Structure 1
Amino acid sequence: MLTALRSLAFMLIFYSGSLFFVLAAMLAGGLGPDVVPRIATGWSRFHRGCARWLLGQKVVVQGDLPHGPYLYIVKHESMFETIDMLCLFDRPAIGAKRELLDIPLWGLIARRYGLIPIERSAGASALRTLRAAAKAATAQDRAICLFPEGTRVPHGESPPLKSGFAGLYSLLGLPVVPIAVDSGRVSPRGRFMKRAGTITYKVGNVVPTGLDRREAEAIVHAAINALNRPQP
């Protein structure tokens, strides 16, 4: 019963509060390039606060999270980490499915913020577009964060990375920081009920540039699945 009440409170408070941030971002669109990112960061902090104080979900980061010209590859188990990236990094450039950027209002703000649109069906042209966007983000000293599984994955599962990762690793020439996360244990995909507990980010060893693409992919795949374990 407590879990249900907490989940209901989170839904009501977070989503109603998010409307405020959406409206603020819409009104602030012409006030300068830094305003919308600041509002988005505030929204991310609001989300983490709601998760902490309404759901009882704490966040722990294991390992040192390096900051610099890296490509951050993150496990994707729930909505939590997609929003929480703005708490981990300063205005990260996050890859998102292009159709998400077509959502009314939200999509407009996402574009103003500077999300990187990913159109997986476009093949090589999508890689070129992604490379150009990533290069621009790197020039602005922004972290580049991608979820290479392409969709939220139930905790404990480890599907192969999408084929675009290997190509992007070669094209960008950036070292990779793989990050495992186990948010799906407490916030399972597609479920209303969200449990109290600890969400852990486990930072893997930096994968240097110049490795064979298959070797780099194997290392990253193992690292982002380092927290996989059966759900309680």
Structure 2
Amino acid sequence: MITLLRSIVFSLVFYPGSLLLVLAALISSSFSPPTVQRVATVWGWFHHYCARWLLGQKVVIEGDLPLGPYLYIVKHESMFETIDMLCVFDRPVIAAKRELFDIPLWGTIAERYGLIPIERSAGASAMRTLRTRAREANEAGRAVCIFPEGTRVPHGEAPPLRSGFAGLYALLGLPVVPIALNSGLVSPKGSFLKKAGVITYKVGEIVPAGLDRREAEVRVHAAINALNPKA
């Protein structure tokens, strides 16, 4: 019952608040494009504190998170991390499914913020776009984050990495920082109920650039699944 009440209160506070911030970003970006990034950061922390104080979800980071010209590969179990990346990094650029850019209002803001749309059916063209946008982000001092599984997966599952990771790893020539997390334990995919608990980010060992594709995939896959029960 407490979990249900907390989830209802969270929805009543977070979603209307998010709509107001999206509208504010949409209006202000017409006059000052950089404002979108500032509003997005506010939105990320708004979500973070709503999760902390309304849902009882505390965040812990295990290990040292290096900042710099890296490719950050993150486990994807919940909506939580897609927003919380705005708190973990400074103005991160995140690769997201192209369909998300079709959402009214949100899609416009995502484009102006600098998210990278991934059109899976576009093949090599999509990879070239991804490479260009990722390099531009790195040059601007912004972290580039990828969810290599392509979609949210239940906690404990470890599907293979999508082929796009290997292509981007080779094209960018950047060392990889793999990050595991267990957000699916408290905010499971497809569930309205969000439980109280600890969400852990576990920073894995840096995977250097230039490795054989297979070796890089094996290292990254193991690292982002380090919090799975079987691991």
TM range (shorter): over 0.9
Deviation at 1:179, TM superposition (A): 0.3
Deviation at 1:139, TM superposition (A): 1.1
Secondary structure of the residue aligned to 1:28 is: helix
Q: Give the aligned partner of residue 61 of structure 1.
A: 61
User: Residues 145-184 of structure 1 correspond to what in structure 2 (within 5 A)?
Assistant: 145-184=145-184
Deviation at 1:170, TM superposition (A): 0.5
Q: Give the aligned partner of residue 23 of structure 2.
A: 23
Deviation at 1:122, TM superposition (A): 1.3
Q: Give the aligned partner of residue 140 of structure 1.
A: 140
Secondary structure of the residue aligned to 1:87 is: helix
For the aligned residue pairs, the C-alpha RMSD in angstroms reads 0.8
Is 1:80 aligned to residue 95 of structure 2?
A: no
Deviation at 1:63, TM superposition (A): 0.3
- Looking at structure 1, the residues matched to 229 and 23 of structure 2 have their Cα atoms a distance apart, in angstroms, of 40
Is 1:202 aligned to residue 225 of structure 2?
A: no
Deviation at 1:176, TM superposition (A): 0.2
User: Residues 33-52 of structure 1 correspond to what in structure 2 (within 5 A)?
Assistant: 33-52=33-52
Q: Structure 1 length as normaliser, TM-score?
A: 0.98
- Looking at structure 1, the residues matched to 88 and 140 of structure 2 have their Cα atoms a distance apart, in angstroms, of 17
Deviations 1:41-70 (A, max 9, x none): 000000000000000000000000000000
- Looking at structure 2, the residues matched to 146 and 210 of structure 1 have their Cα atoms a distance apart, in angstroms, of 18
State percent identity of aligned pairs: 73
- Looking at structure 2, the residues matched to 229 and 114 of structure 1 have their Cα atoms a distance apart, in angstroms, of 35
Q: Structure 2 length as normaliser, TM-score?
A: 0.98
Deviations 1:11-43 (A, max 9, x none): 111001111101110110123232110000000
- Looking at structure 2, the residues matched to 27 and 101 of structure 1 have their Cα atoms a distance apart, in angstroms, of 18
Q: Give the aligned partner of residue 229 of structure 2.
A: 229
Is 1:101 aligned to residue 95 of structure 2?
A: no
Deviations 1:61-120 (A, max 9, x none): 000000000000000000000000000000001000011011110000000100011111
Secondary structure of the residue aligned to 2:55 is: coil
Q: Which runs of 5+ in 2 are unaligned?
A: none
Q: Give the aligned partner of residue 214 of structure 1.
A: 214
- Looking at structure 2, the residues matched to 126 and 156 of structure 1 have their Cα atoms a distance apart, in angstroms, of 30
